[in-house]
Every structure is written in C-alpha cells, then in structure tokens.
C-alpha cells in the first residue's frame, strides 16, 4: 500500500509487532525522535494492525477476569448446569473481543439525539483515522501511539461499565 509522501531512506517495512521502546536512555537526543525510523509506522495497514492487536489484547485482559468472576459467582449459586457455566468466560472473551474490534476500533459522528447512546458510534476505524491524520500532516507515528489509543479505548469501556457514570453523562 503506498502513501502520498516519500518514505525515509532506510525504511523497509514496519517494525516487529510490539516494538515498544524507551527512548530516554543515556544517549537521548530529542532530534532523533523526529525520524526514529526503526520504531516508526508509515503505512495505513501497519497502523491499523498495531491498533487492533493492542485493542484486542487489552480487551482480553479486562473481559477474561470479568468472565471468570461471573463464572465463580454463578457457580456459587448453582442455578446453571456445569456445561453452561464453563461457557461463560468464553462468551465474555468473545463478546469483549468483538466489541473491541467493532466499537473500540471505530470512531466517528453521532447524531444529536443519540449523544448518550453508546451503541451508535462511527464510520471510520481508529487505526485508519490515525493513519490519515499522521500521513496528512507528514508526522512520524511512533509504535507507542496505537498502544496508547488502545489503552484509552479500554479505559473508556471501564468507565462506561459503571451505570452511575453513564447516567450522569
């Protein structure tokens, strides 16, 4: 997939997946952050892929413990059969992953009458929107940016899980 600008000299492909690094070492130079080629993303497909992988991992880290907690609470009450109880954590993880992929990776416009309705979100994937913004401004995207957007997404999901918060908003 091509971009509308020239790639820096020496850039061959996207870095290996997590590629998170700490640039503030003893040989830190702020000018090197502008063109940190080994830890930068340029292609739309790479930016979207990094964003989706981080979103799915964070949702797994949140929804799996929630599913296990639901399993334990329902197992104590003994109201469901064992084969239904065993499916509960898997259903939580599957539902969280789908929600992360569909709702978490999507952002866009809402109609005025649906401002509080969280089910009505979007038309553009977050990773794609990030790629468009960074490419249009000729900015270099660090591999930390998709990580932070996925973290923001899962924190919004956690805040929205409290019914009093959503009622106030």
CA atoms within 13 A on the CB side of 3: 23
Entry pTM: 0.70
- DSSP letter at 142 equals E
Alpha helices in the chain (DSSP H): 30-34, 44-77, 82-99, 126-136, 144-160, 163-168
User: What is the CB neighbour count within 10 angstroms for residue 17?
Assistant: 12
**Most confident stretch, 33-42, 74-83, 97-106:** 74-83
Where residue 86 falls (left for φ over 0; alpha for ψ -120 to 50; beta otherwise) is: alpha
- The mean predicted confidence, pLDDT, of the chain is 71
pLDDT band per the 50, 70, 90 thresholds, residue 80: confident
Q: What is the pLDDT of residues 49-69, one digit of tens each?
A: 888 888 888 888 888 888 888
Q: Which residues of 131-161 are buried (b: 16+ CB within 10 A; e: fewer)?
A: beebbeeeebbbbbbbbebbeebbeebeeee
Q: What is the pLDDT of residues 110-164, one digit of tens each?
A: 333 333 333 333 334 566 677 777 766 667 777 888 888 888 888 887 877 776 6
3-class SS of residue 124: strand
User: What is the CB neighbour count within 10 angstroms for residue 101?
Assistant: 15
Q: Which two tokens stand for residue 33?
A: 């952050």
């Amino acid at each position: 997939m091509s971009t509308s600008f020239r790639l820096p000299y020496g850039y061959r492909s996207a870095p290996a997946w997590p590629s998170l690094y700490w640039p503030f070492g003893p040989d830190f130079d702020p000018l090197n952050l502008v063109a940190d080629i080994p830890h930068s993303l340029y292609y739309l497909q790479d930016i979207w892929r990094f964003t989706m992988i981080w979103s799915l991992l964070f949702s797994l880290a949140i929804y799996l413990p929630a599913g296990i907690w639901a399993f334990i609470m329902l197992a104590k009450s003994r109201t469901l059969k064992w084969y239904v109880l065993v499916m509960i954590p898997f259903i939580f993880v599957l539902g969280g992953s789908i929600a992360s992929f569909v709702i978490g990776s999507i952002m866009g416009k809402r109609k005025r009458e649906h401002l509080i309705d969280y089910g009505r979100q979007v038309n553009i994937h977050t990773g794609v929107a990030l790629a468009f913004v960074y490419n249009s401004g000729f900015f270099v995207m660090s591999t930390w940016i998709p990580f932070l957007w996925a973290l923001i997404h899962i924190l919004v999901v956690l805040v929205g899980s409290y019914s009093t918060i959503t009622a106030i908003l």
